[in-house]
Structure 1
């Protein structure tokens, strides 16, 4: 983990994807590096759980009706690509490298597979999962995952050590597959919704997370027990839950485990790279990688054209799928152990796989750009995501964060024909909104370069809509550095961070809780017959006074005070002065020690409220001081007024 953390940090600094960092960490930690693990295959099963979670997440994106709608791509383009690549790879290996027919079949099948893990991870992070070319790539990947099963069955038969007939073995595998798919689909339709409904009723986050992990692992374990891929079972379970109301919560719960275990998986892939073999056959391996990737791109394009897929989409999908897949390593290990291929051949194929995987993130990122170059020059295809043109934007509002609040503001601005630009860091939301024509820039609004790209110099207002106060302060700081006189409005859920945000440089801070109360008060006053002019004047006064009359409340038995909120809440507390109280007989000027810590709201004498600014004279026994402040300061102020004890903080 230390090597992986350092590698990811360094690779991100030089703008390389984390997948490459994990592969590099595996090379460093493996047998070819510092030999932390001399037998990396021992870790492979644990790492494969990362693929289980990845396919479970992918399944949540593909409901059963959606998969049925894609059946022509899965069993059409997927089957065509697998057959073309396997047959061609088998023929080339058999004719040029003097291998047995069995070895040629296995190697051809290995080369036909692509990396589900890298491709799905990359397209998800880019937010392009839902366009046609990515759907084509995912359909082919799904068929490849299904095609792994026959290869795992056939390899022992090709070695001659297993006497079972090939037809019998494949028939048995087909029956097992039908049974396990039927079981999973039945459980997903009837059992899982009931399970998650009952779990949700407990309102226990830990139980929901544990149940999610358990379902993914049980589904993978069930298919594994039947001799099928664990990833297939997890995908089916996710797909069955993709139509449920818990879809987004399930995805959020599984993401941390998926990302950590996927990192571990890529580390184990890097460990399998044998540097000695790479040195001995390096020129042939590199040449083989480029020839293989070029051929796979062409074959995917051919398969796509048979199903009326556009040229650009076909080339783009081919560029995404031209690497060697992670299941190829499993096949290589099994074939080597059954002596179908030699250990050297296995190492060469694994080296080709690792190198092709290392090139994949760049190819996926630039697949559309390259696809346009391969296609006819006059082809007109929609871009990966709509391009945001900011050249002519002036006097606009920059909306930082496009969640519920940001989208609501954008709709109202659009109704009034006020131009705006949005900055958001959620790739899925950016893709969905840009596809719908919204002016959304992907990225972190705390970065000055991004604010500059959003033309902050020409903007009339910067609106920060996300709830994280610390992140909002970073945006304010970055905006003020670029434009010192920038108008910055910040939305915050509560008033706890009001002063901090103003001190950071915000022009106006809008606390939702106080604004909601203010709107309610306005409605109540209107219904009570107060003229609208007076209501509007009162609202303006409250906003100008930073909601002074809306701060503080009387605590009750159910009021929760935690360590984090003790210094942010504001209480109102009444203190009755007895005959022996320290404050009795003293003027407010003599009690100045508490003025900077709490605020005296009013003084009650004989049941009547007296304004503090009009108060003169001494306090008497029976007077009630109404003070407002933070809980700890309230306690110290009460002790001072009653006992005369001044703490070091107060003094």
Structure 2
């Protein structure tokens, strides 16, 4: 026990020093972890004699990485990408396998050994590529999506390779066709189960967990979902990473996606570091140096095959030259599943120790070079297609132009909702974040652009764009929490104009010192003052602003009445007759009001107002009295709490 603890302590110490040193000289942390693994591994210092002891824990890093990636891909988005996954991905894997298989047979004279080599070289590194694309903010670009699509198919292709190799070596029983068919059936079944659970169970479970307002419970539930999904697919013969990706993809459609990503990030990064150290431990330096010429030759051949296949197939599928080359360059390396295939082939004596060592050297060296290649992706692509480097590229320019007018609202209580309505009226793009799950659920149902999350957390702020947004509103009245949010905002964005709401001016100096550009007191009139600053900073003419504010005053703050209640909204006897709630009612097919026009319904009898009508996720402005309500419509009601509840029963049951 003492020896294991000492080994881990030494490994951690080396990793800390190397990560610090590599970051100081602007090199990726992945290289530091690989070097730490080489030093601590059995071939140099020997602190850790058997890297396989840590393989399972290290693999969890890939599971959490793919879970995070899945949060960024919704099911409709993945369906839309099926042409890339099963077209480009299949072409790359099958084409690479065929070429490497022929070359391997010519060199070794054994089809089974050649297939093992071909399988190892045809696959790229999901862990390295996705991590580097995420760190360089390229996951959402077209070339990033093309790379992810190919990697997803590669993860699927691992399964038949792991089945076929033992059978070809005589180590399995039964036919290859039967084994592959059973794997396909099991895979389809487990994917269907995961998608059903993710669609119908997880959103409700996380809503209940969020209602408890316990951070550790949310973190534990997130880890449990990712690991159970990975374990389920692993039990049915698929990769753990694929199951975690599917679970993340299902939750990516929920309002909790940013909070989930922020909670899982620390565990993911630590375990990913451990994974890369275990990769480094597998490299035998002596053999690597002696066979360096073979390692470099194989890497050049592998790179050439993947570049040509991915580039030309992607181009044939209609991708831009720049995106096709960018994806091809990103996927030139051998992947982590290549080590699994090499190890399996070695177990069945298909590969000699020397060939296995050379392939491991190819994997480690190519993975080590990948972070640098992806960092220099733009210049490399421009060199290949003979165009000047775009900085930033067209997609980034479009994205930046959309960001120029964006506003971030921290807190979606009454004031935050008022600001959102005014911004909507002026056509100003904005996003809000709030940590009340009930309020977020109601607001999202009503069409508001709000996400669940704690705005005092750096990862949440980064996820909703606080690092680049020019205007930020802190609309809640908790001064101490506002100071925490200000500190996080200023650590990532010192140019943003930050407007802070406060109950009074007692903490004005503290808020200003923490980074507030403007502090506004708390009343309805203060809300109008806040709106004037927001619209003015967003470029709206002052005359138009004053006209809007005067219109609200003449209307007795008509548009400001009503708000989405949250789980902590208290309605006592004193305030019950003064508050007005907003409540979104979704009309199912059996609802009593379906088929009736707005004019037929006696809204005044229930003392509520029809504030808005949403149909197919599009808001119907000023719904006409002639409009007939349909199944699936979302009716936004405004009124006192008891009247809103009665009106909902009326619309649903008559």
TM-score (norm 1): 0.64
* Shift in Å, 1:202: 2.3
Is it true that 1:61 corresponds to 2:69 in the alignment? no
- The equivalent residue for 2:628 is none
Deviations 1:516-555 (A, max 9, x none): 69827999xxxxxxxxxxxxxxxxxxxxxxxxxxxxxxxx
Alignment of 1:476-487 (within 5 A): none
CA distance in 2, matches of 1:522, 1:172: 66
Residue pair 1:30, 1:37 contacting (<8 A) in 2 also: yes
Q: Is the 8 A contact 1:385 1:431 kept in 2?
A: no
Paired position in structure 1 for 2:169: 159
- 1:232 corresponds to which of 229, 242, 255: 242
In the alignment, which residue of structure 2 is the partner of 1:148? 158
Hey, what does 2:646 align to over in structure 1? none
Question: Any residues of structure 2 matched to 1:144-223 within 5 Å, and which?
Answer: 144-223=154-233
Pairing partner for 1:22 from 33, 54, 57:
33
Please tell me the root mean square deviation across aligned C-alpha atoms, in Å.
4.1
1:116 maps to 126
Match of 2:384? 374
Q: Which runs of structure 1 show a deviation greater than 3 angstroms over 4 or more consecutive aligned residues?
A: 376-384, 387-390, 401-409, 425-434, 438-441, 465-476, 488-504, 508-512, 514-518, 520-523
Alpha-carbon distance in 2 for matches of 1:376, 1:318:
16
CA–CA distance in structure 2, aligned partners of residues 68 and 475 of structure 1: 35
Q: In the superposition, relative to structure 1, how do residues 224 and 375 fare at CA in structure 2: closer, same or farther (>3 Å)?
A: same
Pick from 264, 267, 273: which aligns with 2:283? 273
Which one of the candidate residues 355, 359, 384 is aligned to 1:349?
A: 359
Distance 2:528 2:147 in 1: 56
The verdict on how the C-alpha distance between 1:427 and 1:286 changes in structure 2, with shifts beyond 3 A counting, is farther
Structure 1, unmatched stretches of 5+, are 391-398, 416-424, 442-464, 480-487, 524-651
- Structure with higher Rg: it is 1
Query: Aligned in 2, Cα 1:241/1:337: closer, same or farther, shift over 3 Å?
Result: same
Q: Distance in 2 between matches of 1:88 and 1:326?
A: 21
Per-residue CA deviation, residues 340-360 of structure 1 (Å, 9 max, x unaligned), is 212221111111111111111
Aligned residues: 468
1:444 maps to which residue? none
* Residue of structure 2 in register with 1:76 after alignment: 87
> Residue 616 of structure 1 corresponds to which residue in structure 2?
none
C-alpha distance in structure 2 between counterparts of 1:171 and 1:105, whole Å: 20
Q: Secondary structure at the match of 1:345?
A: helix
CA distance in 1, matches of 2:34, 2:309: 27
Distance in 2 of aligned mates of 1:109 and 1:363 = 23
Listed one character per residue, the Cα deviations across residues 219-254 of structure 1 (whole Å, up to 9, x for unaligned) are 111111111111111111111222122222222221
Q: Choose from 6, 9, 22 the match for 1:11.
A: 22
Q: How big is the shift at 1:431?
A: 11
2 CA distance for matches of 1:266 and 1:297? 25
Corresponding residue of 2:301: 291
Are positions 1:46 and 2:54 aligned together? Answer: no
Q: What is the CA–CA distance in structure 2 between the aligned matches of 1:78 and 1:366, rounded to whole Å?
A: 24
Provide the C-alpha distance between the structure 2 equivalents of 1:268 and 1:496, rounded to a whole number of angstroms: 55
Instruction: Show the counterpart of 1:320.
Output: 330
Give me the whole-angstrom Cα distance separating, in 2, the residues matched to 1:474 and 1:250.
Answer: 22
How many angstroms does 1:163 deviate by? Answer: 2.6
Distance in 2, Cα, partners of 1:405 & 1:320: 37
Residue 33 in 1 paired to residue 44 in 2? yes
Q: Are 2:125 and 2:333, in contact at CA under 8 Å, matched by a contact in 1?
A: yes
Mapped contact 1:127–1:428 kept (Cα < 8 A)? no
Structure 2: stretches of 5+ with no match in the other structure: 1-11, 427-456, 471-481, 531-654
1:102 paired with 2:102, answer no
CA separation in 1, counterparts of 2:486 and 2:389? 47
- Seen in structure 2, the aligned counterparts of structure 1 residues 491 and 50 have a Cα distance that, compared at 3 Å, is same
